[in-house]
Amino acid sequence: MRLASKRLLVPAIVLAGIGIAACSSNNSVPATTGSASTAAGLAAARATIADADAAPASIGVHTPLKTPAPAGDTFVWLRCDFAQCGYTQVGVAAAVRALHWNLKVIDFNAANPATLIAAMNQALQYHPVAVSFNGNPYETWSQEVPAYEKAGVAIIPNYVGPLPLSKAVIADLANPADLASQARSIAAWMAVDSGGSGKALVLGVPSLPAIGAFPGDFESALRGFCPVCTTTTLSASESQVANPTAIDPLIVSAVQKDRSIKYVVVPDGGLTPALPAALTGAGISGVKIAGAQGSLENMTDIKIGSEQAFMAQDFTYLGWLDVDVAVRHVKGMAISPGDGGLLTQLITKSNVGTPELNLDKPADYQQEFERLWQSK
């Protein structure tokens, strides 16, 4: 199933509004030098790439249920107005069917936190075992946690950034550790692609919990892989990120001021919707574009050669993870915060194939979940 291409979830997080100020600035962060460790770093980077660019072979969850989950429970999916939320719902619906549970879907506008609050309140009327949604930071819905604790209903959020786990908030899926893993893979790719001596402009949005740690994660990984590589961080504000045309000019300006920059790395491909054209229009060539959380546009650009490397991820699989967390909660089992993590793949021109937003690999992961759940 293919849904219409839309930008990724970060703009929705921005528009939800946390009220934390951020400003646009440049901050040069040199990596630790030391040519003696370059060969070892590049060897580690190649090993990381070999793992990252292979299609996922199995799911990240391995512990089976001791007995099947009871049928007839209700799961509520709160659907935002972004393509990724639609893909995740496809996974949720399939997983719920496999368990013979009931699914309720309530729509909300990701840019308007009041609609999420209303949807969370409505969800409690269905007496579900769990409620799940994508994208909105903890601060925009934390007021609902006491009501969920009182009702004994689990909250399973995705892509919300760091948050405190509690009696009600039982997992943090698609969490900062997942993005850090993507940052590491992209850092490995740059280290090898540059031959161990590249300079990158890294886009950061410090005030957004879901991606705020990305520049630090990327720079730390790059130092290990490429001791003489360097980075410059370009910090953008929430208002700039909320405007689809605002970030590309910032990047172009930064590259124009420092022509030693040969890589641009972003935490979310949806933040730079027309960056290749913007660089070309400014007469800039030879700059490679890479990042985490690739969009369909990024994959298409990789196919034609105007962008070079992005991480693909499986949003439908995330829906199965949401339900897996709910099942384990119902059965009183231990649940790791990320429940095994996202399935991702490093996409370059060598393996892009037909560009797609949703990874959908491995092909049999649904059956793997069903075996763990003993569902029939």
Asked if residue 114 belongs to a domain, the reply is no
3-class DSSP assignment, residue 81: coil
Whether 23 shows a pLDDT value over 90: the answer reads no
Structural domain range at position 27 = 19-55+177-313
Crossing angle of helices 315-330 and 365-373, rounded to 10°: 0
Dist. CA 327–CA 98, nearest whole Å: 12
List, for residues 260-290, the tens digit of each pLDDT value.
999 999 999 989 989 999 999 999 999 999 9
Asked if residue 376 belongs to a domain, the reply is no
Whether 358 shows a pLDDT value over 70: the answer reads yes
Please, are residues 156 and 132 in contact by the beta-carbon 8 Å criterion? yes
Q: Is the pTM of this model over 0.85?
A: yes
**Which regions of the chain does DSSP assign to beta strands (E)?**
25-30, 74-79, 102-107, 130-134, 154-158, 199-204, 230-235, 263-266, 288-291, 309-313, 344-347
List, for residues 112-163, the tens digit of each pLDDT value.
999 999 999 999 999 999 999 998 999 999 999 999 999 999 999 999 999 9
Domain count, the chain: 1
Whether 224 shows a pLDDT value over 60: the answer reads yes
Question: 29: buried, middle or exposed (CB in 10 Å: 19+, 13-18, 0-12)?
Answer: middle
Asked if residue 284 belongs to a domain, the reply is yes
Crossing angle of helices 365-373 and 83-99, rounded to 10°: 40
Asked if residue 227 belongs to a domain, the reply is yes
Whether 34 shows a pLDDT value over 70: the answer reads no
Whether 5 shows a pLDDT value over 50: the answer reads no
Asked if residue 133 belongs to a domain, the reply is no
Closest alpha carbon to 198 in 162, 165, 222: 222
Which pLDDT does position 340 carry in this prediction? Answer: 94
Which pLDDT does position 82 carry in this prediction? Answer: 84
Whether 27 shows a pLDDT value over 50: the answer reads no
Residue 36 structure tokens = 């003696």
Dist. CA 51–CA 55, nearest whole Å: 9
Whether 369 shows a pLDDT value over 80: the answer reads yes
List, for residues 155-186, the tens digit of each pLDDT value.
999 999 999 999 999 999 999 999 999 999 99
Indicate which CATH number applies to the domain containing 219: 3.40.50.2300
Asked if residue 130 belongs to a domain, the reply is no
Asked if residue 375 belongs to a domain, the reply is no
Whether 15 shows a pLDDT value over 60: the answer reads no
Which whole-number Å values give the CA distances from 32 to 39, 40, 104, 223, in the listed order?
14, 14, 52, 6
List, for residues 289-306, the tens digit of each pLDDT value.
999 999 999 999 999 999
Asked if residue 87 belongs to a domain, the reply is no
Which whole-number Å values give the CA distances from 288 to 9, 19, 189, 306, in the listed order?
24, 33, 11, 8
